[in-house]
Chains A and B, each alone.
Chain A
Amino acid sequence: MNDPTAVPALSAKQIWHYFAPVHARRPFLALENINLDIARGSFVSLVGPSGCGKSTLLRVFAGLVRPTSGQVELGGQPIDGPDERKGMVFQEDAVFPWLSIVKNVEYGPRARGVGRAERRKLARQWIDMVGLAGFENAYPRELSGGMGKRVDLARVYASDPEILLMDEPFGALDALTRLKLQQELLLLWERTRKTVVFVTHDLEEAGYLSDTVVVMAARPGRIASIHHVDIPRPRSFDIRTTAQFTVLTRRLWNEIESLDDG
């Protein structure tokens, strides 16, 4: 018998992906030979300059993009198209504006055929967890950007995915709200221990949240280096002022600066 913990949650094997726009003279190499294993229960960030393919790689993991060649596996099984096992949080506002908050959070369970009473209970539980109790019947337009992101998080957790893919989820938020949501995401992650793959531009955000930071380079999109973050958990705001944290972000910055000569 194989030890199930030995199988990585997510694994990319020799992924090559070309974009072939109609008017381009030749196809654009978005991902060049990506090999990456993501351990079950870990928090991994993908960082890198624009055009390094980090969002494309995330969409390959989600099954939203089929790579030109190579294979991605979720728990050892090949990924073929999007489904609820690969939950995703987007940078844009993805909360359905025509559904109330509770109906939004119920969407995943409902699509899977969970009964009315049970999915309502599940939704309330996650709405409480992200601190939106009392807003169950509000429509998204009545909520601020930060609250909208909380709904997004509650919705994707209520759908109970095997892995969570986050594409710069806090990129459009103001700095203060972003700090708060980072804190809450850490809390959610520590409670559920679901594997998270997190794409960001923000090196401090990557360092603060992650076990592993994958630095990617552009033209062609590829993995440049992998950094393990051994800052103990649970982490709080205070670690940002420690020497260990500053050294880490400095190292990530040096790494990215050295790439950006092309």
Chain B
Amino acid sequence: MPRVVKAQAYQPTGNAQASSSRSLEALALQQARRSALHRRRQQILLGFLSVLIVIAVYTILTQLPKSNPALLPPPPTIVNAFIKGIQDGTLLSATLASLGRVAIGYLAGCTIAIVIGSLRGWYTTIGYLLDPIIDALRPVPALAYIPLVILWFGIGEMARVLVIGLASFLSCVVSVTAGMKEVPTVYVEAARTLGATERRVFLTVAIPSSLPYIFAGLRVAIGAAWGTLVAAELIAAQNGLGYLLQAGQEFFHSETVIVALFVIGVIGYLMDAALKALQTWALRWSPRSG
């Protein structure tokens, strides 16, 4: 008979007197935290550094003997224009007007994109019906529809919101449909064998399973909507950040143009950051998040 040697308890080797295993663990944890903190500090530091360099280079350019302050306003002029814009309320009212337009157009465009995109991605017959129309609309940039929108709807608020909505829809719908095509079959079959009706499978399996794609679409669309804003406000707008840009050019106030560009950039960044935070929260279950 083969003999099985009695199992021996495992003893960790090493200098047991110098430090208990508990303090070793604390030390390792501390080390890991410290290196994570170091990386984060480095990221923030380098980020600030690059902004500072851009400002410094710009300042030097404005100080060159041949520089024209009307075209390259020195930083104090820009800061003053910014402060003045805030004090007399023009900057705030322009921002609010633009945000309102983008909010309505974006929400409407994305809602329609999610509904139509998911239906055509999930139900093959609806897909056959809608794919030719949507695929024909898609390669045309939203801005190209402006002349037609003006002819049909005039130069009012409706036209501006419509262009933003169209831009949101076109950039969101593709991703939503793609998500529906990627729903793993095994989830669908599991739901069916648990007694789910077709409608329930669509609502409780297809939609949540494609949420990562839907969020990707929403983030592309917010960029598209905000990017189309300026062009939309060229349609005879009386207010808004795009209007401010145009007015700055007409009255030769380059500092106003730069301030408007700055505000557009900061708000675009903040909106994407907010959407990203919402995405992280809504997809906290996803193995790919966090």
Which of A99, A141, A159 has most chain B Cβ within 10 Å?
A: A141
Q: How far is the CB of A90 from chain B (nearest CB, A)?
A: 5
User: In the complex, what distance in Å separates the CA atom of A83 from the CA atom of B189?
Assistant: 10
What residue in chain B is nearest A113 (Cβ atoms)?
B195
Determine which of B193, B196, B204, B286 lies in contact with A97 in the assembled complex, contact meaning CB atoms within 8 Å.
Answer: B286
**Contact assessment for B195 and A159 in the assembled complex, using a CB-CB cutoff below 8 Å:** yes
Residues of A within 8 A of B208 (CB): 96, 98-99
User: In the complex, what distance in Å separates the CA atom of A28 from the CA atom of B284?
Assistant: 44
| Count of interface residues, chain B, beta-carbon cutoff 8 Å | 22
User: In the complex, what distance in Å separates the CA atom of A122 from the CA atom of B194?
Assistant: 15
Find residues 255-290 in chain B having any chain A CB closer than 8 Å to their own CB: 284-287
Residues of B within 8 A of A155 (CB): 194
Q: Does B211 contact A (CB under 8 A)?
A: yes
Q: Does A247 contact B (CB under 8 A)?
A: no
A78-101 Cβ-contact flags toward B at 8 Å (1 or 0): 000011101110101110111100
**Contact assessment for A82 and B193 in the assembled complex, using a CB-CB cutoff below 8 Å:** yes
| Count of interface residues, chain A, beta-carbon cutoff 8 Å | 29
Q: Does B186 contact A (CB under 8 A)?
A: yes
**Contact assessment for A94 and B192 in the assembled complex, using a CB-CB cutoff below 8 Å:** no
- Known contacts A96-B205, A98-B209: A87-B193 contact under CB 8 Å: yes
Q: Does A107 contact B (CB under 8 A)?
A: yes
Q: Does B107 contact A (CB under 8 A)?
A: no
Residues of B within 8 A of A84 (CB): 193-195
**Contact assessment for A88 and B196 in the assembled complex, using a CB-CB cutoff below 8 Å:** no
Determine which of B187, B195, B197, B204 lies in contact with A94 in the assembled complex, contact meaning CB atoms within 8 Å.
Answer: B187
Residues of A within 8 A of B189 (CB): 62, 64, 82, 88, 90, 94
Q: Does B190 contact A (CB under 8 A)?
A: yes
Residues of A within 8 A of B191 (CB): 107, 111
Residues of A within 8 A of B205 (CB): 96
User: In the complex, what distance in Å separates the CA atom of A74 from the CA atom of B196?
Assistant: 19
User: In the complex, what distance in Å separates the CA atom of A59 from the CA atom of B209?
Assistant: 23
- Known contacts A84-B194, A111-B197: A92-B286 contact under CB 8 Å: no
Which of B186, B191, B193 has most chain A Cβ within 10 Å?
A: B193
User: In the complex, what distance in Å separates the CA atom of A161 from the CA atom of B190?
Assistant: 13
Determine which of B193, B195, B285, B287 lies in contact with A64 in the assembled complex, contact meaning CB atoms within 8 Å.
Answer: B193
User: In the complex, what distance in Å separates the CA atom of A84 from the CA atom of B191?
Assistant: 9
Q: Does B34 contact A (CB under 8 A)?
A: no
Residues of B within 8 A of A139 (CB): 284-285
Q: How far is the CB of A262 from chain B (nearest CB, A)?
A: 30
Find residues 106-140 in chain A having any chain B CB closer than 8 Å to their own CB: 107-108, 111-112, 139-140
User: In the complex, what distance in Å separates the CA atom of A82 from the CA atom of B286?
Assistant: 28
Residues of A within 8 A of B204 (CB): 107
Find residues 186-219 in chain B having any chain A CB closer than 8 Å to their own CB: 186-187, 189-197, 200, 204-205, 208-209, 211
- Known contacts A64-B189, A98-B211: A108-B195 contact under CB 8 Å: yes
Q: Does A196 contact B (CB under 8 A)?
A: no
Q: Does A9 contact B (CB under 8 A)?
A: no
Residues of B within 8 A of A97 (CB): 285-287
Residues of B within 8 A of A82 (CB): 189, 192-193
**Contact assessment for B194 and A62 in the assembled complex, using a CB-CB cutoff below 8 Å:** no
Q: Does A52 contact B (CB under 8 A)?
A: no
User: In the complex, what distance in Å separates the CA atom of A63 from the CA atom of B205?
Assistant: 19
**Contact assessment for B209 and A83 in the assembled complex, using a CB-CB cutoff below 8 Å:** no
Determine which of A83, A108, A141, A161 lies in contact with B287 in the assembled complex, contact meaning CB atoms within 8 Å.
Answer: A141
What residue in chain B is nearest A164 (Cβ atoms)?
B193
Residues of B within 8 A of A140 (CB): 285
User: In the complex, what distance in Å separates the CA atom of A84 from the CA atom of B200?
Assistant: 13
What residue in chain A is nearest B200 (Cβ atoms)?
A111
Q: How far is the CB of B187 from chain A (nearest CB, A)?
A: 6
**Contact assessment for B194 and A107 in the assembled complex, using a CB-CB cutoff below 8 Å:** yes
Residues of A within 8 A of B193 (CB): 62-64, 82-84, 86-88, 156, 161, 165
Find residues 49-71 in chain A having any chain B CB closer than 8 Å to their own CB: 62-64
Find residues 156-191 in chain A having any chain B CB closer than 8 Å to their own CB: 156, 159, 161, 165
Task: List 19 contacting pairs A-B, 8 Å CB cutoff, sorted by A.
Answer: A83-B192, A84-B194, A87-B194, A90-B190, A94-B186, A94-B187, A94-B190, A96-B208, A107-B191, A107-B194, A108-B195, A111-B194, A111-B195, A112-B195, A139-B284, A140-B285, A155-B194, A159-B194, A165-B193
**Shortest beta-carbon contacts, A-B, top 5:** A84-B195, A108-B194, A82-B192, A88-B193, A94-B190
Query: Beyond the given A83-B193, A159-B194, could you list 4 further A-B residue pairs with CB under 8 A, ordered by the A residue number?
Result: A86-B193, A107-B194, A107-B204, A140-B285
